[in-house]
Structure 1
């Protein structure tokens, strides 16, 4: 029964756009600036980055788009010189934001986007297949928001998070030296949280500061575990059954500065604290209690740093660039193939072209994972990898 113990590790699934399993490239504009978005009034996506920014908008705005996220991971197992690579795969997180200034000083907004999630697939013959062959966790956040500007230099905002999560995970189970079975878990849940923020113009039209907060929440995934290729004598023990897992999502605090040295150029810097230490263990409860287990994780809190720049080449064309550093919360002793995370170095480019009330934005971000050695007994070895994010956003403004 304890051969199922590694299933629990799959719930920290895949390669994501920020360390751990966080995603913060919610629009093409954010992608092109490595998400240095906390301090400046930008667009309707303030709903996600800092709800206070909505109070700086002066008209109705709609943003809709999506991204193609392509992870690449490699493991060189301990004692080997041959690297094993993940299969090619694309995750397409969508985004939708609407903002409407409905009376003087007040703006309402709503967003639908994916704040957490990842996906990764290894070959069926992968050395670490008893830990993971496929893992996917996706979330969709419905985030209604209200912002208020009490003065011409101060903005505040807050929103509610209605977070829907779903997962699908798969691994092999060693039954004997000659026989392997398969396990697949699916589950869903809904959790509630909130986000809030403040922005202040320290020097009019030049220097702004921002502070934003997103609450912790927990997704208690409930679903089924199904088993395949199980020999007949074991089929009763490995029958389809219910499973429940509590997955903690971190709280975060973001600080930012935005500087506009000329009317055409804007520079931004962000620092975000992630409370990843909430993930100390994962408890997996099967309907058959003999399968239930607890997996240590021992993640650490981390600070993420981002720089962004935006330059208006003309009234119609704006270009962007960004860079960032995002240290991993995962210690060497719990680093396993379902989340081959390491410190990330980020670079990004982007642009927006506007025609009348319409605009089209594109952004590309490359994340390079530094080499990291795992001492986890289930799959020791050296991991490397990268992540490519290509985003597009269509905007409409009255």
Structure 2
């Protein structure tokens, strides 16, 4: 009995890390996002501080650029028979608001610097109270904050280099019910015996970025490398509430299933972005980008509880993944620009670790938007539809999920972009 409850508590703690993996964000500027994020070879505005710091060396003056993305996602789960009888459940509606705020300054024709604040890992997912997977996850909220000072040098009229430091801080809140069941989990309905809440703040993680941009007539080439960042969660609060069940006294007497502290760590992966932009004519431009994420850093998660009996390791077994991006922009008038983009995004997650906390899949993203410039000010709006399609943890009639919670997931998301910029 202790072993079964232990497994439940362990699953609670590992969810914080897996959540960040599948919901990494790249939408930190309305123009860039409307172009499908295919902007590593462009130096259009101060959001270059995030997408390619080297591009700042080709910009002039002092620029402020701020924006927000409104994200509405919907997830559906259909349980795998015979245990869950093809039951259908939808996640609750939530709006999430990652930001991108930048301030840059050109000190000379060859040197520029700036700072950006973004939160590339900042979504959440909440399921209804009667959802069978509430013993895996009921509610999760993760926020990360990247504070990134950057510099850029133009070492040739056509070539610049840049880079900076990433100072990263994360917070996480997780809630789920605890299930007492036979091993392995979910082979019978089991008995819900309590509720577990985890809240934690990480220490400061440090990473770096390095980039390059080359421009020649109508052609430009961009490259960005962003190094992995480790966030350590020390002394996180695990609050355990036992329900009034026949097992309550026995479980309480074990002395380990009580409010306590726990430690773990999340590693956000390194990634490379490379792209080429071509200005077809004075109105039309197109860019193709390729991105590669080193997600294999997320293989096994070690968990250190205040009570050593609960210490364990959790398998995730992520693989490296790629993205392919294309963006087109067309100048409708001197002040108005139309934008469109497409992304094919491979998931790093195997079906064995896909869960109600993170139902990830290969994605197809479609985006468009408009930008308006008047004097020194600019405004941008855009929209993106993210289609996850369907993905099941069952293959050839066999459930593959590591913990036996099998079913089919279907997900989609709507993203709305807004920004304001000014050259001072």
* Shorter-chain TM-score tier: over 0.9
Q: Is the 8 A contact 2:13 2:198 kept in 1?
A: no
Please provide the CA RMSD for this pair: 1.6
Say yes or no: does 1:269 pair with 2:288: yes
User: How many residue pairs get matched?
Assistant: 393
Q: Is the 8 A contact 1:156 1:199 kept in 2?
A: yes
Say yes or no: does 1:121 pair with 2:126: yes
Tell me: CA distance 1:338–1:168, structure 2 relative to 1, closer, same or farther (3 Å): same
Say yes or no: does 1:249 pair with 2:249: no
Tell me: CA distance 1:122–1:12, structure 2 relative to 1, closer, same or farther (3 Å): farther
1:295 aligns to what SS in structure 2? strand
* Runs of 5+ unmatched residues, structure 2: 1-5, 182-189, 394-399
2:333 aligns to what SS in structure 1? coil
- Whole-angstrom CA distance in 1 between matches of 2:107 and 2:88: 57
Q: Mark the structure with the bigger radius of gyration.
A: 2
Q: Is the 8 A contact 1:68 1:93 kept in 2?
A: yes
Q: Is the 8 A contact 1:9 1:131 kept in 2?
A: no
Q: Is the 8 A contact 1:269 1:306 kept in 2?
A: yes
Q: Is the 8 A contact 1:8 1:295 kept in 2?
A: no
Q: Which moved more, 1:268-277 or 1:291-300?
A: 291-300
Match of 2:221 in 1: 209
Deviation digits for residues 276-325 of structure 1, max 9, x if unmatched? 11100112211112222211000000110110011111121111000110
Superposed, which structure 2 residues align to 1:1-398 within 5 Å? 1-12=6-17, 14=19, 20-79=22-81, 80-175=85-180, 177-189=190-202, 190-201=204-215, 203-204=216-217, 206-222=218-234, 223-231=236-244, 233=249, 234-235=251-252, 236-374=255-393, 375-376=400-401, 377-398=403-424
Q: Which moved more, 1:256-265 or 1:235-244?
A: 235-244
- Whole-angstrom CA distance in 1 between matches of 2:404 and 2:311: 18
- Whole-angstrom CA distance in 1 between matches of 2:18 and 2:226: 21
2:410 aligns to what SS in structure 1? strand
Q: Is the 8 A contact 2:42 2:220 kept in 1?
A: yes
Q: Which moved more, 1:282-291 or 1:168-177?
A: 168-177
Q: Is the 8 A contact 1:13 1:119 kept in 2?
A: no
Q: Is the 8 A contact 1:10 1:338 kept in 2?
A: yes
Deviation at 1:24, TM superposition (A): 0.4
Deviation at 1:228, TM superposition (A): 2.2
Q: Is the 8 A contact 1:284 1:294 kept in 2?
A: yes
Tell me: CA distance 1:172–1:136, structure 2 relative to 1, closer, same or farther (3 Å): same
Q: So what's the TM-score if we normalise by structure 2? A: 0.89
- Whole-angstrom CA distance in 1 between matches of 2:148 and 2:277: 24
Deviation at 1:77, TM superposition (A): 1.0
2:135 aligns to what SS in structure 1? coil
1:39 aligns to what SS in structure 2? coil
Q: So what's the TM-score if we normalise by structure 1? A: 0.95
Deviation digits for residues 64-118 of structure 1, max 9, x if unmatched? 1211111211111111333211100111112210110012310111000012232
1:310 aligns to what SS in structure 2? strand
Deviation at 1:240, TM superposition (A): 1.7
- Whole-angstrom CA distance in 1 between matches of 2:109 and 2:334: 27
- Whole-angstrom CA distance in 1 between matches of 2:26 and 2:224: 13
Deviation digits for residues 10-66 of structure 1, max 9, x if unmatched? 11455x8xx723110111112201100111112111111111111110121101121
Q: Which moved more, 1:282-291 or 1:365-374?
A: 282-291
Q: Runs of 4+ in structure 1 displaced over 3 angstroms?
A: 175-179, 229-232, 234-237
1:103 aligns to what SS in structure 2? coil
